[in-house]
Structure 1
Amino acid sequence: MNQQIQKLYAKAGKPERLIIGLMSGTSMDGLDIALCSVKKSGAETDIRVLKFKTGNYTADFRAKIKAIFSKKEVDLQLVCLMNEYIANIHSQLINEALKEWGYKNEDIDFIASHGQTIFHAPKSLHQLADYPNGTLQIGDGDHLAVNTGIITLSDFRQKHLATGGEGAPLAVYGDYLMFSKAGEDRVMLNIGGIANFTYLPGNIDASEIFSTDVGPGNTLMDQYMQKYFNQFYDKNGAVAQSGCSNSKLLAALLEGDFLALDFPKTTGPELFNLEYLIKAQEQSLTTNLSKEDVMATLCHFSAEAIANAIKNCVGEDAGLKVFISGGGMHNPLLVQLLQTKLPFCKFLSTERLNINPDAKEAVLFAVLANETLCGAPVNFGNRQGVPSVCMGKISLPE
């Protein structure tokens, strides 16, 4: 047997595995690095976050990603080069984090890397009859493995596509294994660039569980702040709170075809971008709104889309626990609007479930890697968009 395969086999069989989960989302605010201790698998998965940090991106690195992000036409040479460049930067951030935390690279069993999404193209978006669903994450796993010396799992979304899904959202798998609770209906709401949630019924029936994107979380607000306020995001929702939501613009924003699609569904900044906003403003004759009023309306738009989706899932008067994670949970106006629109729901941080809400998406990929290495596919029933598969390509460091 190949020596590296023997090492892989031995590490997968350990009673406790140290797995680094990585997440770099559409907001591109940095690389979330979660060092996790993982025992067992499946419904018995026992995971603890030992260390967590967000490795900061430089303005230059962020600009390089944006040059190829969410665009139909890009420099193909640059895409090719960035596949390696992103992996090299991520490797550097991992090595720095381990040194900061007092760990040696050889102490770590596996890396689980989401990579950097540069384009997401489900059929509902591209509408090209001859082509399948598509998505592309770059930041090559072999480069991560070689540069850190750690066995790496990456490119998780392609197996989901290959078995009939849209490549997203993948949260259903980790949310089910980590957060289901008998006798308690839960919604795991992640408000990143795009907002998504997982519905976890208290009967623990995997065939009833699903995840779906619902529409914009922070992406429209972030894009608007970057263009018109020269700020990366609206810290504490301060700009939005200084304006007033405009009902005409809000109504136009809510008329998008995606919002009326059935669950599960996926989307991205390829749809919800400043062009989407401009069209809504032209349609509603609101192009002269103050920038503060536009920001307020965008915040209301995100809240309305999220609240409507949860109501469609659990009913208008359903009272259940909604556990929030992602950058949007730090926007007090957005959270306040959700509480107002869903008065019977109780909003909590995933901190209550012993998972740092900022680390949750990175932890998810550690769980997905653990299932591929040590578990077996959970049977989610024969449903479109939720294939019962293990995911992730394995890269060996030598």
Structure 2
Amino acid sequence: MNSNWKQLFEILQKPTRLIIGLMSGTSLDGLDIALCSVKGAGPATNIKVLEFTTVPYTEEFKIEVKSVFSKRAADLQMICLMNEKIGLQHAELVLEALKSWGRTADEIDVIASHGQTIFHAPETLHGLIDYPNATLQIGDGDHIAVKTGIITIADFRQKHLAAGGEGAPLAVYGDYLLFSKAGEDRIMLNIGGIANFTYLPGDNDAKKVFSTDVGPGNTMMDQYIQQQYSGLYFDENAAIASQGVVNEALLTVLLENEFLAADFPKTTGPELFNLHYLSAAQAKSGTSNLKQADVLATLCACSARIIVNAIQQCFGTSAKPYIYMSGGGMHNPLLVSMLKAGLPEAKFGTTADLGIDPDAKEAVLFALLANETLVGEKTDFGDREGVPSIRMGKICLPD
């Protein structure tokens, strides 16, 4: 038997697998690395985070990724080069993390790599009649597997597209398996560059589970900070935005977009919500000369209003869900206060209350998805658009 398949067969028989989940989001701040101990599969999955770290990217590396990130006209040679370089860089960071944890590559069964999204193009955004939904993540899984010597499962989003989805959000699969609770309606709210949530019904019926992007989370705030303030990548603790005043004229125009009014499920990205979107809204509202703090306060209010409107659209203004947050936006006190004011009947917490570090959640998700690729049976999510009943990921062998 081929030695790689023999090793895979042995991994499949293990009662507990050690899986490293990797996540690099649209904020481009660094690589999340979560070492997880995983038992079982499907609804019986038991996952424990043994180690977690976020390794910041160097300024040079950020610049290289940004040169091909979210651009319709990008250098094709640079995309090819960065596909390989990101894979090699992520592999190196994994090896460094293992060393710092006192572990060796031989101990790890599988790496689950999300890669780096550089462009997201669902039909709702590209508008081209004869073309399908599309998304592109780079950071080649074979490079990770060969450099680390660890079997790597990567490129998860393509199966979602092939099965009729938009390639996002994938959180629904992990959220249902990890966080459902009988008798409690839950909303798993992730506020990254883009905000998305999963609805988990209290009756644990997978066919009722609902997941969707809702609009910008941190992306426009972060882009504006990077444009206006040299050396800053985000407004830490909303220090600048908290000094500003929300401009209602600008806010009104920011909320005028077909995507925001579209039915769920839907997906989006910084391809739509970016500095061009902001400047067009400022021009239309006559607010091009606003103070920087006022712009940031208004962008924060925009993200909050979009999230609140989406939750109310789904569950009504009188709903009393349990909302568990994750993602960088949960560290923005101004944004969180706006959410609580907009949803006064909801009970807010973070995934830490459920045993998972919220900063590690997305990396843990991909470890779980890899486990499902290996040993899971398909969970039946019904026939609803956007949630195909599939297992995802391509297996990359070390040799």
**TM-score of Structure 1 vs Structure 2, range by shorter chain:** over 0.9
Structure 2 distance, partners of 1:12, 1:134, is 31
Report the alpha carbon displacement of residue 12 of structure 1 after superposing the two structures with TM.
1.9
Amino acid at match of 1:98: L
Find the counterpart in structure 1 of residue 242 from structure 2: 241
Structure 2 distance, partners of 1:318, 1:290, is 37
What is the CA deviation profile of residues 30-77 of structure 1, one whole-angstrom value per residue up to 9, with x for unaligned ones?
000000000000000000000000011000000000000000001100
Structure 2 distance, partners of 1:293, 1:204, is 43
Q: Post-superposition, which runs of at least 4 consecutive aligned residues in structure 1 deviate over 4 A? A: none
Map 1:89-100 onto structure 2 (within 5 A): 89-100=89-100
SS at match of 1:380: coil
Find the counterpart in structure 2 of residue 275 from structure 1: 276
Map 1:1-398 onto structure 2 (within 5 A): 1-230=1-230, 231-398=232-399
Count of residues paired in the alignment: 398
Report the alpha carbon displacement of residue 13 of structure 1 after superposing the two structures with TM.
1.8
Amino acid at match of 2:27: S
SS at match of 2:28: coil
Report the alpha carbon displacement of residue 146 of structure 1 after superposing the two structures with TM.
0.4
Give 5+ residue unaligned stretches, structure 1.
none
Structure 1 distance, partners of 2:195, 2:297, is 17
Report the alpha carbon displacement of residue 395 of structure 1 after superposing the two structures with TM.
0.4
Structure 2 distance, partners of 1:336, 1:252, is 22
Aligned residues: percent identity? 64
RMSD over equivalenced CA pairs, Å:
0.5
Structure 1 distance, partners of 2:141, 2:107, is 19
For normalisation by structure 2, the TM-score amounts to 0.99
Report the alpha carbon displacement of residue 317 of structure 1 after superposing the two structures with TM.
1.0
Report the alpha carbon displacement of residue 314 of structure 1 after superposing the two structures with TM.
1.2
The answer as to whether partners of 1:13 and 1:374 remain within 8 angstroms in 2 is no
What is the CA deviation profile of residues 312-355 of structure 1, one whole-angstrom value per residue up to 9, with x for unaligned ones?
11110111110000000000000000000000001101101110
Report the alpha carbon displacement of residue 2 of structure 1 after superposing the two structures with TM.
1.1
Structure 2 distance, partners of 1:95, 1:29, is 19
SS at match of 1:98: helix
SS at match of 1:112: strand
Structure 2 distance, partners of 1:51, 1:238, is 31
Structure 2 distance, partners of 1:350, 1:334, is 17
Report the alpha carbon displacement of residue 160 of structure 1 after superposing the two structures with TM.
0.2
What is the CA deviation profile of residues 261-283 of structure 1, one whole-angstrom value per residue up to 9, with x for unaligned ones?
11110000000000000111111
What is the CA deviation profile of residues 207-256 of structure 1, one whole-angstrom value per residue up to 9, with x for unaligned ones?
11011000000000000000001210000001100100000000000001
Amino acid at match of 1:119: F
Amino acid at match of 2:113: S
For normalisation by structure 1, the TM-score amounts to 0.99
